[in-house]
Every structure is written in structure tokens, then in C-alpha cells.
Amino acid sequence: MRVAVLGAGYAGVVLADRLERRLPSDVDLVVVDDTGSHLVQHELHRAVRRPSFEDDIVVSLDDIFDRARVRHATVASVDRDRRVVEFADGEEMAYDVAAVCLGAETAYYDLPGVEEHSIPLKRLPDARRIRESFLDTVRAGGGTVVVGGAGLSGVQVAGELAAFAREEHADDDVDVVLVEQMDDVAPSFPAKFQDAVREELDAEGVDVRTGVTVEQATEEAVETESGVIPYETFVWTGGIRGPDALAGERADVRADLTLDDHTVAVGDVARVVDAEGAAVPASAAAAVREAKVAARNVERLVDDQRDVDDGFRPRLERYTFDSPGWLVSVGDGAVAQVGPSVFRGRAAKAVKTGVGASYLAAAGDIRNAVGLVREEFDFERHGD
């Protein structure tokens, strides 16, 4: 019997880690990923300003897993009827139970010129491209950096670039403009959290423009319904879509996270409605918590397949989203909401860095966890 975990983002790593302990020893557990490493996505923006961060937010999958086999391959499609994963190189792999944890890609909504002229922030090469484009702007004497989309990723990269400009003594020459279609930054988050994020962005010197819809982009400007914004660097964090393996769609799943009796979908790849009927936001926190429920359900699906077929579907656990809070970096500061309390500044930054370090340690890489804390707070001292 084979269980395939497709993808090694937050959901895939946490799920596979738990399945290593939960599945019978004779079950073949395979983790499929196209890079062979896990990226701590919520800290990726830090690598824009400090490339040495790259070493602290990438963990080899071989260092994480004890039992699971890691297969380096790109998933092209999942044939659920045949229970086969099809790879980009033409090979196939059969499975008995699969967990689709392929994450999401940047969505451009067919806006003319936006994909062509912008830089996303999903992978390390993106962070490097943003850094180089930003430094080119600084070397040229300044200009405007536009960040499209003020979700958490957009907030973080805008804050990071504003702090980067200050570090390069170019804050009077470089304008960082954060554009958001909705009326508030961090849409869909609690109002107190939104207000604190906006205050932190203002403190970093970010020009925040909400209620502004991007219509198209050229090589030199972002065109909105409110006017034209010339730019030297254009970063796009305006939304997500499903992976190419699912034809660009995010899978709709039930509260038990299943697509069928042999397949679950976990993390950003899925649109989840929880047991209370609430839509679950795409976030690292949700992916990790979904993965814990999915691990128990995969175990039950495996047990059911190994037993004599009695015609009954196994009783599966239903997921309920209950976030302990929200965390976001904004340049040299941060905002954290824990319960009803909202923190800014050093206290929030310590919480966020601690969460990242705890996650890395749980993922099996103590060296990177220690490095993350060291880089974060050494960096802060150097910037004082």
C-alpha cells in the first residue's frame, strides 16, 4: 500500500511528519516535491533585504523525514479515477491514498501586463529579483516601488522595502506605494489587527492606497481606476490561484478535507469550509492545523482499505478553524494579535520570530531555527 503526499509546503511537511508515526510500517509513504527542500514561506520577504536569510528558511527534506521516501518530481496532474499521479517528465506513480498539498500560485486575474511586468513573491528566486530591481532603483537615484495587493504578503514586502530604503539611506529618494482594492489593508482580518497593521505601515513610511483597483500595467506604470502610478519596481501579491496540476483551480473540500474516499486536499491548494460552515483563510496557520486533522483522517482511510470492505465509509474527523492569533512583519516592526490583544513593535516581533523558530525546530532543523533568531535580532541591532 502506498500513501503519497504531494507537495512539501507547510501542509505537506506537517502531514507527512505525522504520518511517519501513524501509518503501519509496511505502508510506503512517499513525499513528492520538485525542489527537495521546504521553504518557510512566511519569512521569505526577509531574504529581499538580507540574502543570508536564505540559509535559515530552507530545510532539506532529507533532514526532516526519517521514514518517508522523498521523490524529486513535478506533479503535472492527479488522476483520481485511476489513482495515479502523473509527473511532468511523463512518468506515473500509483497510490492508494493521496494528500494533495501543492500550495497555490500567484493569481493575475487576466489583468493586461501585470504578470509580464511584475515580480511575485513565492520562491527564493523571486526575492532575489525584487532585491536586484530595488537596488537598481536606488543606484539610479531613486524612484517608486509599487506593491500590488495588501494581504499579509504585500504588507510584509512593502514594509521590508521601506526599511531597506532607509538602510540604504535612500528613504528620501525611494517611495514605496502599497495598493489595495479593498478599503482596508489585511482584508478579512479583524479590525483591530487591520488598524495596527496600517499604523505600522505608516510608521515605516509606506504610502498606503486602499480602495484602488489595478486595471493593467505597462513597462513603466501601473494603471488604476484612480490614475497612473509610474514605477521602477513592481511587485505583485494580489491573490492566489490553484496549481497548474489542478488546472489553476483551488479544490473545494468538505470539512473532513476529503476530495473522495482516497484523496485529501490540505493547505492553500484547497478552499475549505469548516465544520461550522466558515470559510477558512489561506494561511500558514490554517495549513498546519488542517494537516493535523488530515493526518488522522488519512490514517483512518488507510485502516479502512486494509480491513475487509464492509461497505461503510470510515468516520472521519471534521476540521474547525480556530486561530490562536495573527502575526505579520512590517519592516523592522511587527504586529501580533493573540486573542483580543494586539501588540506592535519589539513584543510582536519576538512573537513572530519565536513562531518561525519553533516551526523550524518542529520541522527537524534546529540549526536553521537558531539561525533565524540570530539573523533577526542581530539584524535589528545593526539597524538601530
Query: What is the distance between the alpha carbons of residues 307 and 230, in angstroms, rounded to a whole number?
Result: 64
Local confidence band at 373 (pLDDT 50, 70, 90 cut-offs): very low
Q: In this structure, are 182 and 295 located in the same domain?
A: no
- pLDDT over 70 (residue 51): yes
Prediction pTM value: 0.90
Is 206 in the same domain as 348? yes
106: pLDDT strictly greater than 90: yes
Q: Is the pLDDT score of 11 beyond 50?
A: yes
Is residue 139 domain-shared with residue 278, that is, in the same domain?
Answer: no
338 pLDDT band, cuts 50/70/90, is: confident
At 143, which CATH number? 3.50.50.100
Q: Are both 290 and 219 inside the same structural domain?
A: no
Amino acid (one-letter) located at 93: M
Q: Does pLDDT of 65 surpass 70? A: yes
Instruction: Give the closest residue to 146 by CA, choosing from 208, 205, 201.
Output: 208
Say what the pLDDT of residue 309 is: 64
Same-domain status, 162 and 192: yes
Residues 234 and 369 in one domain: yes
Domain holding 285, by residue range, is: 2-34+73-104+242-306
Domain count, the chain: 2
pLDDT (mean) for 125-132: 98
pLDDT reading at 81 higher than 60: yes
Question: What is the arithmetic mean of pLDDT over 244-254?
Answer: 97
Q: What is the pLDDT of residue 378?
A: 44
Are residues 203 and 126 both part of a single domain? yes
DSSP letters along 170-202, please? -TTTEEEEEEESSSSSSTTS-HHHHHHHHHHHH
219 and 149 both lie in a single domain: yes
What is the rounded average pLDDT of the residues 198-205?
A: 97
